[in-house]
Amino acid sequence: MAYVNVPNELSRIKTKVAFNLTKRQLLCFGSAAVIGIPTYLLTRSFIGNTAAMLLMVALMLPFFFFAMYERDGLPAEKVARNMIRTMFIRPGHRPYKTENMYSILMKEEQPIGTSKKDEATTKKRKT
């Protein structure tokens, strides 16, 4: 009897367009090819094959990174945006502050015998 394995987490399944790649991956790989291949072809006569190949790889790696990297369901640019926000834009320390209404009331009401006039009179009596 034939059966099909169904994954437990269906939200992780992405729609594949062509060559078992998503639209995002196709776009990133295509743009890497558009940038990398002409760079190699135009620079190999000036700087040599090895240096031109290394330059091509260096230019194409960020596109491959953005195509493949995913953390907690977020693509690389969203992860980078969140990291920049938390490290540089937003403050690092967010103190928890409350307004204690009872402390305000306690400052306004002083117990009997602790006013400034009472303290002055008690000091005069002791001396």
For residue 18, pLDDT beyond 60: yes
If pLDDT is split at 50, 70 and 90, which confidence band does 6 have? confident
* pLDDT tens-place string over residues 105-115: 777 666 655 55
Lowest mean pLDDT among 1-5, 20-24, 38-42, 106-110: 106-110
For residue 101, pLDDT beyond 80: no
Closest listed residue to residue 28, CA positions, set 53, 59, 71: 59
pLDDT average, residue stretch 6-16: 67
* pLDDT tens-place string over residues 25-84: 899 999 999 999 999 999 999 999 999 999 999 999 999 999 989 888 888 989 999 999
- Per-residue pLDDT at 87: 86
pLDDT average, residue stretch 12-21: 69
Question: Hey, how many other C-beta atoms are within 10 angstroms of the C-beta on 32?
Answer: 20
More confident residue, 59 or 89: 59
- Per-residue pLDDT at 113: 54
- Per-residue pLDDT at 102: 78
